[in-house]
């Protein structure tokens, strides 16, 4: 089996790649003063994640040993920390114009940074960099003739980017569907509470997949991706995840001049058979296409 195929199997089988971001977000959300139950929950999730990370590191380390010089084992730095934390999407579901939004995100970042080591000085599982070419750097791969590993991870990361964009678009369509069919028609407090609970659940999904996307895009840079690939997969910003639900309402006039984030016009596969709210995604796609045609 080639090293490129081994990397693919190693990468695909390790759910810890995604779980790390989820646990980081949970730790930030709970904050500096967790309850005993929250502390136990974090400890349990961290222990399970550590098992997955350790298994991944062993498998990846064995593969890297097979392509590297014996002396070049720089991937084994136990003090290295994962640089990306995804804190830029914390609280993205808060109302626009919330003056405290940026300070809240910064506080969350500080909480995470201060909590990324255990009492014994080891890096917590959610902050441990995985032994992938993107962590080792393009220079290491060049020195060890591991260009195939770089190409393999580039393909894997591109698939991860497409998956994340797919989930983001579906979730935003779901959010619009809930607003139109549940939030706005709700006439009782019970119905409003239920509808907003679903909205917040969808927003949590949006935030998660946005973090996965930006982490995968950072990996493209670390792998030395060319400019055309980086232009196709742009950086996601907080404002890109805000959706004006009136923009896809069929009875609202004057929508032609409203702009939508860049990823709505991308050709991302798998946007089929995912629920009734897909119609909202289709309306957005039709809106984008009609806007482009009108300017030609």
**Interval 207-234: pLDDT, tens:** 999 999 999 999 999 999 999 999 999 9
Name the residue with tokens 């995912």: 274
Which residues in 242-266 are b (16+ Cβ under 10 Å) and which e?
Answer: ebebebbeeeeeebeeeebbebbee
- Which segments in the chain show pLDDT lower than 70? 1-17, 66-79, 93-121, 244-258, 269-296
**Interval 247-268: pLDDT, tens:** 444 455 555 545 778 888 887 7
Helix (H) / strand (E) element for 17: namely helix 16-30
Helix, strand, coil shares of the chain, percent, nearest 5, are 65, 0, 30
Q: What does the pLDDT read at residue 34?
A: 94
Spatial CB neighbours of 153, under 8 Å, sequence gap ≥ 6: 7, 11, 132, 133, 134, 219, 223
Q: What is the DSSP string of 222-289?
A: HTT--HHHHHHSPPP-GGGG---GGGG-TT----TT----GGGGS--TT-SSS-TTHHHHHHHHHHHH
Q: What does the pLDDT read at residue 77?
A: 59
Q: What does the pLDDT read at residue 206?
A: 92
Residue 98's SS3 state is coil
């Amino acid at each position: 089996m080639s090293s490129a195929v081994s990397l693919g199997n190693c990468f695909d089988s390790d759910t810890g790649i995604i779980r790390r971001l989820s646990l980081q977000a949970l730790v930030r959300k709970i904050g500096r003063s967790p309850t005993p139950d929250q502390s136990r929950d974090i400890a349990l999730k961290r222990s399970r994640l550590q098992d997955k990370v350790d298994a991944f590191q062993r498998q990846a380390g064995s593969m890297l040993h097979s392509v590297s010089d014996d002396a070049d084992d720089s991937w084994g730095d136990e003090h290295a920390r994962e640089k990306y934390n995804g804190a830029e999407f914390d609280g993205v579901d808060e109302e626009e114009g919330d003056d405290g939004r940026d300070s809240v995100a910064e506080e969350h970042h500080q909480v995470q940074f201060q909590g990324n080591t255990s009492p014994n000085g080891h890096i917590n599982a959610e902050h441990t960099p995985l032994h992938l070419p993107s962590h080792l750097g393009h220079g290491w791969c060049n020195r060890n003739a591991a260009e195939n590993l770089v190409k393999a991870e580039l393909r894997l990361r591109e698939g991860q980017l497409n998956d994340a964009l797919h989930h983001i678009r579906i979730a935003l369509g779901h959010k619009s569907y809930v607003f139109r069919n549940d939030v706005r028609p709700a006439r009782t407090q019970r119905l409003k509470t239920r509808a907003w609970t679903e909205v917040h659940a969808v927003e949590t999904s949006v935030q998660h997949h946005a973090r996965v996307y930006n982490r995968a895009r950072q990996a493209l840079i670390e792998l030395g991706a060319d400019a055309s690939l980086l232009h196709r997969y742009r950086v996601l910003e907080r404002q890109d995840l805000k959706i004006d639900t009136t923009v896809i309402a069929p009875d609202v006039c004057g929508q032609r001049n409203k702009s939508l984030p860049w990823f709505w016009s991308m050709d991302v596969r798998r946007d089929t058979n995912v629920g009734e709210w897909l119609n909202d995604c289709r309306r957005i796609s039709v809106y984008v296409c009609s806007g482009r045609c009108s300017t030609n």
